Amino acid sequence: MNESGPPLRGTPRTTIADVAAALGLTKGTVSRALNDYPDIAEGTRVRVRGMADRMGYRPLGSAQAIRTGRCRAIGLVLETDEHDAHRPFLNEFLAGLSDAAAAQSWTLTVATAPSGAARATYERLIEERKADGFILPRTRIEDPRVNLLRNAGVPFVLFGRHGTPEGCAWFDIEAGSAMRSAAHLLAERGHRRIAYVGGHPDYTYNQVRQQGFLEGMDDMGLPVPDAYMHDGAITRADGERAAAALLDLAEPPTAIVYAIDNAAMGAYRAAEHRGKRVGRDLAVIAYDGDPNGDFAEPPLASWAVDWGRAGARLAEMLIARVRGTPAEDLRETMPASFLDRGSASVVIPTDPATAGADNPSQLGGDS
Amino acid sequence: MNESGPPLRGTPRTTIADVAAALGLTKGTVSRALNDYPDIAEGTRVRVRGMADRMGYRPLGSAQAIRTGRCRAIGLVLETDEHDAHRPFLNEFLAGLSDAAAAQSWTLTVATAPSGAARATYERLIEERKADGFILPRTRIEDPRVNLLRNAGVPFVLFGRHGTPEGCAWFDIEAGSAMRSAAHLLAERGHRRIAYVGGHPDYTYNQVRQQGFLEGMDDMGLPVPDAYMHDGAITRADGERAAAALLDLAEPPTAIVYAIDNAAMGAYRAAEHRGKRVGRDLAVIAYDGDPNGDFAEPPLASWAVDWGRAGARLAEMLIARVRGTPAEDLRETMPASFLDRGSASVVIPTDPATAGADNPSQLGGDS
DNA sequence: ATTCTTGCCGAAACCGGTTTCGGAGTGTTG
DNA sequence: CAACACTCCGAAACCGGTTTCGGCAAGAAT
């Protein structure tokens, strides 16, 4: 019984036995030749190699898997009911992963799960050996996936550092220094009152970006009053609320740094409702490089991440990890690149008399 | 040799042999019991079932695959360097696919390829049996993937009908009737001069939507001059150009129907540059339900597709197809739902004297 | 009481690979 | 010339399932 299905494959693949027969060898020998066993004569190896790809032989992953325990597949579990800054980039991220995997004849197994119930999904994939290891996007500060995989003995690579990175391989974007540079840049353009609006506090990216911003402000000797620090702005509406609160302060900031592009888009409306204009009365720099930001008026300055490249490196690192490279040797960062667009080009004339002091009357003059 | 990797799994799965031993049966019997063979006593079957899930037994996909030829995986090849109207929805689409697959203990294998070189990707996945069948998103009018898979004897389900659908299973959104309704609705709101801006001409969606629009116009007895029919607008810039051309006509349309939300977003700027305003002087209805449209001023009226549901149905249909259901029995459509937002709420007062005639002077009065 | 079914399960082959083991052939050394 | 060490490959077990085949036992038919 089981699943009886008529539409079986047309051509009946060439198996390793076919290759062996064509050469008068045994399949064991062919297998060892192809897998670089040292007890195979070099001449035999090239004969086997030649015949194998002349016959178009491609080993059957599942057949290998049952003996080796490896299916040459990267696992990726996307958590769905979650704010997804990477939504516009999912394509590129998947492309990076998939291409890098394909280059080594690996494939990509994707699953989704509601954030809470991800555990069961991982367990199923592990139990059925659908993946040799996992890439963990959007790491949280306390991330239950890490312990789960650690205990199961399944290799993984974090995208974003973890609170306790012992024994973890990770890849990360230098978002901290990006935010730090944002603070520098705004300060150099004359801003003294710069506010920050963060994202979801449970995630490591949020910590990193906020800290980077604060370092940047500290570098420039600029104070950051509590009222200038917001958090938890994920959606455009969140960002609008935060901007509204900031702009309604007695001493409103002249610039806002957002952790998330999407939230930053809300600043435009908040400013407009107060007769101000982003890019003229208020500078905004955000992070993500969301293409939609390019269509804002003026376009949103932002830090862009090369998601394709990130995916590719993550895939390569995970494959290396599965093959045995120690986790400690698999740690990389990649810089983000700044898109210096209109929203950031607000220059505050530095009055020598008031330079260094907080001077509220600086704000608001047209052009 | 081969890939020697230390981090092997912790717990050594329970195999079918373990279950058999625990019951004093042979693994053959256990296998048949679990797969509903008729020659197993009902009592035995329940004993086996009970013991199996008490022991947490889960069959190893790759082991099954080598005998059955099925790995219980859905294949999805995303073409990357392509205009992707589904980009904002990729998440939901994947979630729909993955959840429906998981419900039947299937998984999802995702690969990407540049549009041109997709063939090799399919061949590799087929050759290595990484997927039992494929879901083909974004069907083209002449789609090489169809012949490829047909010849290979690999099951597939089209997302969007194909030019020659013989022997094809497909799922489709009723975008034709959506566009038709859009024409009706605009006509009912008094519009007589309605233009259309299509998307990429190689894809079936474009054909379907355009035809639906023309039918709707025909239903209402409204003429569609050639100058009112545009095509090939994918990006926001494309849409802006098309709108500009239309608005610069001697008799500009009072409403534009777009095949793609993203292109429709360009109409806002084109209108603005001409002192007009979408939602007041120009009605716009598009298609895709892009969440960004909700942040336009006024929000973009559009037809939304439930991508999660679409993915789920596609997965279920493909699994059925793999299990033997004839392609002809696997054909479904799903309606799109109209988001009647600000951009469509332009009412042209129907002057009894001029009703039915094209009257250019109708346009543009401030409400 | 014999024969014929029928229900039910064990035994074993099989799928396509990998890995271990042993041994035939050759070359080296004492 | 015997003993020994290598090189290289065949033979066969193995992985975890599925599927075929055959046979035992109980009940039905003759």
pLDDT in tens, B342-352: 999 988 886 65
- Give the CA A157 to C1' D6 distance in Å: 43
- Residue from A55, A76, A112, A240 whose CB has the most chain B CBs within 10 Å, to mutate: A112
Beta carbons within 10 angstroms of residue A110's beta carbon: 25
Structure letter (DSSP) for residue A164: S
CB-CB under 8 Å, A111 with B124: no
Q: What is the pLDDT of residue B356?
A: 44
Confidence at residue A294, expressed as pLDDT on a 0 to 100 scale: 87
* pLDDT lower than 50: segments of chain B: 1-9, 353-367
Tokens of A248: 């309604």
> Quick one: pLDDT at residue B82?
65
Q: Is the backbone of residue B236 left (phi > 0), alpha (psi -120 to 50) or beta?
A: alpha
**What distance in Å separates the CA atoms of residue B257 and residue B10, rounded to the nearest whole number?**
58
Task: Report the pLDDT value the prediction gives residue B138, as an integer from 0 to 100.
Answer: 87
For residue B114, the tally of other CB atoms under 10 A from its CB is 13
Scan for tokens 């109708």, then name that residue: B362
Residue-level pLDDT at A83: 62
CA of A36 to C1' of D1 (A): 38
Check: CB of residue A69 under 8 Å from CB of residue A323: no
Q: CB–CB of A151 and B10 under 8 A? A: yes
Query: B-chain residues within 8 Å CB-CB of A62?
Result: 61-63, 65-66, 71, 129
Q: Among all residues of chain B, which has the CA nearest to that of A148?
A: B10
- pTM for the model: 0.89
Nearest CA distance, A321 vs chain B (angstrom): 8
Q: What is the pLDDT of residue B161?
A: 83
The confidence score (pLDDT) of residue B366 equals 42
**Any strand D atom closer than 7 Å to B40 CB:** no
Residues of B in contact with A58 (CB under 8 A): 124, 127-128
Instruction: Report if CB B64 to strand D is under 7 Å.
Output: yes
CB spacing of A107 vs B125 below 8 angstroms: yes
DSSP label of A84: -
| pLDDT over 80 at A238, yes or no | yes
Q: What is the mean pLDDT of chain A?
A: 89
Please give, rounded to a whole number of angstroms, the shortest distance from the CA of B235 to a CA of chain A.
11
- Angle (nearest 5°) at CA A157 between A152 and A159: 130
What pLDDT score was predicted for residue B3?
39
A5 vs B322: CB contact, 8 Å cut-off? yes
Q: Tell me how long chain A is.
A: 367
The reported pLDDT for the residue numbered A82 is 65
Q: Token pair for residue B63?
A: 């082991």
CB-nearest to B68 from A2, A90, A127 is A2
Name the residue in chain A with its Cα closest to that of B56: A127
On whether the CB atoms of residues B93 and B149 are closer than 8 A, the answer is no
Which one, of A204, A265, A271, A255, lies nearest residue A233 by Cα? A265
Largest separation between any pair of C-alpha atoms in chain A: 92
Closest approach of A192 to chain B, Cα-based (Å):
31
Report the pLDDT value the prediction gives residue A4, as an integer from 0 to 100.
Answer: 37
Q: Are residues B35 and A1, on separate chains, in Cβ contact within 8 Å?
A: yes
Amino acid at B281: D
How much is the pLDDT for B84? 62
Q: Which residue stretches of B190-297 are H helix?
A: 204-219, 236-247, 261-273
Per-residue pLDDT tens over the stretch A99-122? 999 999 999 999 999 877 899 999
| Among the listed residues B271, B142, B144, B135, the one whose alpha carbon sits nearest the alpha carbon of residue B195 | B271
Residue A60 near residue B59, CB atoms below 8 Å: no
Residue A220: which of A351, A346, A355, A336 has the closest Cα? Answer: A355
**CA pseudo-torsion sign B48, B51, B54, B57:** negative
The pair of three-digit structure tokens given for residue A343, joined into one six-digit string? 């929203």
- For A318-355, the pLDDT digits (tens) are 999 999 999 999 999 999 999 999 999 989 886 554 44
First to last CA, chain B: 78
Strand blocks (E) in chain A: 73-79, 107-113, 133-136, 156-159, 169-173, 194-197, 229-230, 255-258, 283-288, 301-304, 331-334, 337-339
Q: What is the per-residue pLDDT across A3-58, written as a single tens digit (0 to 9) for each?
A: 333 334 456 789 999 999 999 999 999 999 999 999 999 999 999 999 999 999 99
- pLDDT of A114 reads 87
What confidence score (pLDDT) does residue B136 get?
Answer: 95
